Structure 1
Amino acid sequence: MSDTGRTAKPNKSGMKLTPPAQSATERRTQLTRDKVITAAIDLADRDGIDAVSMRRLAQELGVEAMSLYTHVRNKDDLLDGMIDAVIGKIPITTDGPDWKTSLRRTALAARAVVLRHTWAPRTLETRTTPGPAVPRYINAILGILRENGFTVTLAHHALHILGSRVLGFSQDLFDDSPDLDPEAAARLAGELGATLPYAAEMALAVTHEGALGGCDDDTEFAFALDFILDGLDRLSQVET
């Protein structure tokens, strides 16, 4: 076998001829978006997210940098795709004996994924247009809660309390966006409803002054703080 990984074939005289190395054009035509994103993830895992550039990625793939733009629009699109691919690797457990077990197993599985891709939390924090995997994952978390008796409001509070822990790390998960008017909120919920029913339900239910928009950080902070203090209080009474 030659250095290119191709098996040499004998010609009519019996001599083996080594096929020519794959050309840059051949490599370029064989690229797909998935292959580009996978290569970028491998590069980030090995050398850190700061090492990921279109030029460096092209070198890793053995192509010209311009050929990457057939598959990703720009670096932001590449980073969005990388985050979406990583979140998509998280297995979701919904068959636990109770909601707590299902949610705990899912969050710990998410942490195992994040520990394999340590650049992901910092990168996720910079994303403003997440791909389909993130809302699909959040919808599944909400589903675990709603199907086990949580009200929409309590499920919403639970997301804030858990924060990024549902994704396997610890930092603020929510980047509040400007308010949407009721008509835009209803349209967004309608778009989500077919595939992400629990996310759509929360989008319509958790509104502020008639509009879908940013959550009240002070309210959510106080709710989470009281929840933690109440839990510590119960534990202290058990141990005394």
Structure 2
Amino acid sequence: MTRQEATHRTAQRTPLNRERVLRAAVALADGTGIDALSMRRLAQALDVVPMALYKHVANKEELLDGMTDAVVGEIDPPGAGPDWRHVVRARILSARRVLLRHPWAARVIESRTGPTPAVLEYLDSTAGIFREGGLSADLTHHVMHAMGSRLLGFSQELFATPGPADPADPAAPSGPPDPGLAERYPYIAELAAASHDADSAVGGGCDDQFEFEFALDLLLDGFERLRDQGWTSAR
């Protein structure tokens, strides 16, 4: 018996359960993208008939909910330390590493009609870090709004930063940029000439990790100042 045949037989003997279904769905999305994920393709990956999946997930939406929880479950638990900012920062950067491992996950999280159980647990524990760090319930409420998706390791830019043009793409622009644009929008042109990172996750655009941490640190420092001032929303 070949190793491949032995692996196939072992897979056949492994009982199908919800955890195995979700783990396979995450792996399939990682490999082919979330748009290519279907119940039929997932069944093929698991070497079962599609109907076998419905004993463990009722439909595609429940599958996506479960995949969200599986990914969020990879985020490191809160660490220990006297400085709540460092604890929050480490947890959020752990979330970011997880989201970078699963590039499709941010889009799926945003598409959910409500927070899934794992997301609720994560948000609750993060709110607990703020509260135990001395922030009032009132301030924590507004902090959670201000952080938004950054709590889960990603942020939505105002506009997507285009990567470098593909020379094989006939629709890609050629030649030098239009100087008239710089004349009409001088400050945008100035910002566009700022330092960029060609190895960024967004391509030849801004260093997205730096920008993420820059904004995160600004927010955390600002929250601490508000805490020290005894800020309330009634003011």
Moved more, 68-77 or 28-37: 28-37
Specify every segment of 5 or more residues in structure 2 that has no aligned partner in the other structure, as ranges: 158-217, 226-235
After superposition, give the CA deviation of every residue in 1:131-167 in whole Å (9 maximum; x if it has no partner). Answer: 3211100011110010111111100111111111111
Aligned residue for 1:43?
A: 28
Q: Distance in 2 between matches of 1:161 and 1:131?
A: 20
The answer for the alignment partner of 2:61 in structure 1 is 76
2:119 aligns to what?
A: 134
1:155 equivalent to 2:140? Answer yes
In structure 1, how many angstroms separate the alpha carbons of the residues matched to 2:58 and 2:111?
17
Separation of aligned partners in 2, 1:108 and 1:156: 21
The answer on whether the counterparts of 1:84 and 1:133 sit within 8 Å (CA) in structure 2 is: yes
Distance in 1 between residues matched to 2:34 and 2:106, nearest whole Å = 11
Q: For 1:70, give the aligned amino acid.
A: K
Q: Is the 8 A contact 1:164 1:170 kept in 2?
A: yes
Q: Give CA-to-partner distance per residue, 1:82-123, whole Å, 9 cap, x none.
A: 001101110132413301100100010100000000100111
1:114 lines up with 2:99 in the alignment: yes
Tell me if 1:96 matches 2:96: no
Partner of 1:175: none
d(CA) in 1 for partners of 2:71, 2:55: 22
Tell me what 2:232 maps to. Answer: none
Where structure 1 has 5 or more consecutive residues not aligned to the other structure, the ranges are 7-20, 173-226, 235-240
Preserved CA contact (<8 Å) 1:99 1:144: yes
* Match runs of 1:1-240 below 5 Å: 1-2=1-2, 3-5=4-6, 22=9, 27=12, 30-171=15-156
Q: TM-score, normalised by structure 2?
A: 0.63
RMSD between superposed Cα atoms in Å: 2.7
Distance in 2, Cα, partners of 1:28 & 1:49: 28
Q: SS at the partner of 2:5?
A: coil
SS in structure 2 of the partner of residue 105 of structure 1: helix
- What are the superposed Cα offsets for residues 59-98 of structure 1, whole Å, 9 maximum, x if unpaired? 1111111111011100000000000110111013241330
For residue 4 of structure 1, report the CA deviation from its aligned partner: 1.3
Question: Contact 1:54/1:75 (CA < 8 Å) preserved in 2?
Answer: yes
Q: Which has the larger Rg?
A: 1
Cα 1:73–1:133, aligned 2, differ >3 Å: closer, same or farther?
A: same
CA distance in 2, matches of 1:111, 1:96: 21
Identity of aligned residues (%): 52
**What is the TM-score when the length of structure 1 is the normalising length?**
0.62
Residues 28 and 67, structure 1, Cα contact 8 Å, conserved in 2: no
Q: Which has the higher contact order (CA 8 A, sep 6+)?
A: 2
